[in-house]
Amino acid sequence: MKGKKSLMAAAGLYLILGLVLLLFPGLTTAVFCVAVGVLLLLYGVVTILSFFAHRGSSTSFTFQAELILGILSAIVGAFFLTHSDFIISIIPAILGLYVVIDGLVNLKRGLDMRAFGYAGWTATLVMSLVSLTLGAVILRHPFGVGLTLWRMIGAAFLYQGLSDLWAILTLNKLTKDE
């Protein structure tokens, strides 16, 4: 199966992210905002300083675009650091959308398994429908649930990782058998 290692790595990351969000939801969101804010701010400052340090050596559009990207990165990084409550409030909606999209991908995997003639394709179908439902619930109440929502997102990612892992291993076994 092409890309099996990257799919397995993604499933592993889902599992880890799910466990961390389940066990430490408040700490996770605060650390996330600070880490992303600091990284973006540092990237922006380094890019801006690099532009001015090498200003005379190149005037290409790419070099000027990097300056703009550096300025935008620094602004977004500062925003993450100064408005972390807002960032934390929109992340559930973004993650919920992601779970829905991944559920749709799993639905496609299930249909592919059916096309291969795998009798257990219905399990993948059911798991994808559960993922779609979890994502829809997250999207329905992204702002008002607080830490419970983060735990729910963690459970959704944990489930997503397990179902992805199962689907990948099953599809891989199926393709090896042919």
Per residue in 26-78, pLDDT (tens digit) is: 787 788 889 889 999 999 999 888 888 877 665 566 667 788 988 999 999 99
C-alpha dihedral sign at 90, 92, 98, 103 = negative
How much is the pTM? 0.53
Domain boundaries, the chain: 4-177
Does residue 149 have a pLDDT over 80? no
Q: For tokens 């961390």, what's the residue?
A: 20
Q: Span 137-163, mean pLDDT? A: 79
- 27 or 107, which is more confident: 107
CB of 114 closer than 8 Å to CB of 64: no
- Residue 111, CB half-sphere, CA atoms under 13 Å: how many? 7
Eight-class DSSP state of 116: T
- Residue 109, CB half-sphere, CA atoms under 13 Å: how many? 28
Determine the Cα–Cα distance for residues 157 and 20; give it in Å rounded to an integer: 10
Q: pLDDT band for position 104 (50/70/90)? A: very high
